[in-house]
Amino acid sequence: MSLKEQQENQSTDSASLKRGMKIHHVAMLSVGGTIGTGLFLGTGYVVQQSGPGGTFIAYAFGALIMVLMMLSMGEMLVQMPVAGNVQAYATQFLGYGAGFTVGWVKWLQLAVTVPTQIVASAIIMKNIIPQVPSIVWIIGFGLLLFFLNSRSNEEYGSSSFFFSSIKVILIVVFVLVGLGMILGVGGNGVGLANYTNDGGLFPTGFRPIMMSMMTAVFAYSGADMFATAAGESENPEKNLPRAIKISSLSIIISYALTLFVLVAVLPWREADLMGSPFAYVFGKLGISSAEMIVNLVVVTSALSSANAHVFAAVRTLWSMGHFEQAPGFVKTVNKRKVPINALIVTMIFAVFAVASSFISPDVVYLFLTSFIGAAELVVYSITGVCALKHRKAFLAKGNTVADLKFKIPLFPVVPILLVILCILVATGMLLDPTQRGALTTGAPVFIALFVGSTIWSGMKKKNKEEAPDKSSVE
């Protein structure tokens, strides 16, 4: 099935998906997939490694790559809104092998993230309620995710919006409380002294900032979730550009305000020594249960992220089925227009990954989790290349730039810069012994997928061409 045929079938085929997701559902899907444990727990590590100024540089770099990706993806999505992800566009503009490779890489990245969030949530709940074994929480959370993703996209969108809103509320409260501490509301203010004390803005030098940049890039992982909902969005020409703006601004503002408060309130040397920086700030107000409250929100945040990743993985697998890049049975949808078989396959894989975290944590589980970072770079790079190919193909049909429903600003700088920055990040990962394994683990998989699928596709095409014409035989 071509991209155009899939787009047409999106609204006419009874076995297709339903356009029922509203703008706030689509926007919050990216927010839910991006703002998670990385913000609530991981920011303290970056502050400690890079210092006040280095932290902002690192996260600004990550935000730049995120925005470049969203703009590059946006033009294709608005012009040809289909469910799935960059896999559909890679197949159309780069060939079957590229689409097959990026599709399975993206699905695996999404599917692996689900069990990591489930296990993290179960560990936190085990600490809160020691009497309940972790396996009980894992099973319960897994069933919850299956239930939410088996509902119609309107119902799913509402549940996703609710869970994401909890995270946003905590961020707002954190920022307000932090500003109160900075300004001295109800006591002596801490001011902005932590920005200049103990070495100033850049106390650790340049190299730690470079390493933190790579951490920050992956902190924004999940921002492309809106792409998987393109085929189920109401009025995509109008809503998708707005969803891109809303989600990107929400994510950037959330990180910027959180980091501003965090760096001001916590000395950079201590930022990663107190567990969650959110719990520390609330604890300073004398709230004895601050850590438990924040932990519960972190669990909600992790499950919200897992929920978004299940949704995206299911749509990606469903799309691959339509392009004959996955078994045909994954195209099946239930009466709610949910790709139920793709959901079952994704959750079975999640069960396998969770089991591997207990049975073989140093081999299978380590391989799966190491794969995530490298996969993100591959997907983002292919997105940039597809954006260039899409514009070229669009103009070759006699169209003009003015005919585009959503235009990439500063074209072709944006997609080219996206590819270049992804290459720079990959180079930095190779130079960092702690992150090198992600590339050395992923590269053989990427090459095997591309070479194998290209050969198989060529053989299939050749056999089809050599097959006798039945009508002529008769």
Q: What pLDDT, in 10s, does the model give residues 6-42?
A: 555 544 444 577 777 888 888 888 888 888 777 877 7
Instruction: Give residue-wise pLDDT tens across range 139-186.
Output: 999 999 999 999 988 898 888 888 888 888 888 888 888 888 888 876
pLDDT beyond 90 at 344: yes
So what's the pLDDT on residue 373? 77
Could you tell me which residues are beta bridge partners of residue 170?
none
Comparison of pLDDT for 435 and 86, the residue scoring more: 86
**Could you tell me the pLDDT band of residue 365, with boundaries at 50, 70 and 90?**
low
Q: How far apart are CA 47 and CA 69, in angstroms?
A: 25
Give the tokens for residue 337: 């227009």
So what's the pLDDT on residue 218? 82
pLDDT beyond 80 at 369: no
| Torsion-angle region of 19 (φ positive above 0: left; ψ -120 to 50: alpha; else: beta) | beta
Give the tokens for residue 73: 């993806």
So what's the pLDDT on residue 14? 41
So what's the pLDDT on residue 318? 93
So what's the pLDDT on residue 467? 58
Sign of CA dihedral 256, 261, 264, 269: negative
So what's the pLDDT on residue 274? 55
Contact 41, 120 (CB under 8 A): no
Distances in whole angstroms, Cα of residue 225 to Cα of each of 10, 322, 327 = 19, 20, 23
Give the tokens for residue 378: 């591959």
Among 156-170, 222-236, 266-280, 449-463, which range has the highest average pLDDT?
156-170
**Residue 353: CA count within 13 A, CB half-sphere:** 25
Q: How far apart are CA 302 and CA 118, in angstroms?
A: 7
pLDDT beyond 70 at 338: yes
Q: How far apart are CA 154 and CA 61, in angstroms?
A: 34
**Could you tell me the pLDDT band of residue 465, with boundaries at 50, 70 and 90?**
low
Among 290-299, 318-327, 354-363, which range has the highest average pLDDT?
318-327
Sign of CA dihedral 316, 320, 321, 325: negative
Q: Can you state the angle between helices 413-431 and 436-466, rounded to 10 degrees?
A: 120
Q: How far apart are CA 31 and CA 270, in angstroms?
A: 28
* DSSP-derived secondary structure for 5-22: HHHHHHHH-TTS----B-
Residue 11: CB atoms within 10 Å: 11
CA 138 to chain centre: 22
Comparison of pLDDT for 284 and 88, the residue scoring more: 88
Comparison of pLDDT for 103 and 24, the residue scoring more: 103
**Could you tell me the pLDDT band of residue 231, with boundaries at 50, 70 and 90?**
confident
Residue with token string 């079975």: 348
The average pLDDT across 209-217 equals 84
The alpha-carbon radius of gyration of the chain (Å, integer) is 23
**Could you tell me the pLDDT band of residue 5, with boundaries at 50, 70 and 90?**
low
Please confirm whether the linkage preceding 412 is cis (ω < 30° from 0). yes
Instruction: Give residue-wise pLDDT tens across range 403-428.
Output: 999 999 999 999 999 999 999 988 88
- DSSP H helices, 340-412, are 340-359, 364-396
3-class DSSP assignment, residue 233: strand
The average pLDDT across 77-100 equals 88
**Percent of the chain residues topping a pLDDT of 70:** 90
Q: Which superfamily does 21-458 belong to?
A: Amino acid/polyamine transporter I (1.20.1740.10)
So what's the pLDDT on residue 366? 65
The average pLDDT across 258-269 equals 88
pLDDT beyond 80 at 368: no
**Chain-wide mean pLDDT for the chain?**
85
* DSSP-derived secondary structure for 283-300: HHTT-TTHHHHHHHHHHH
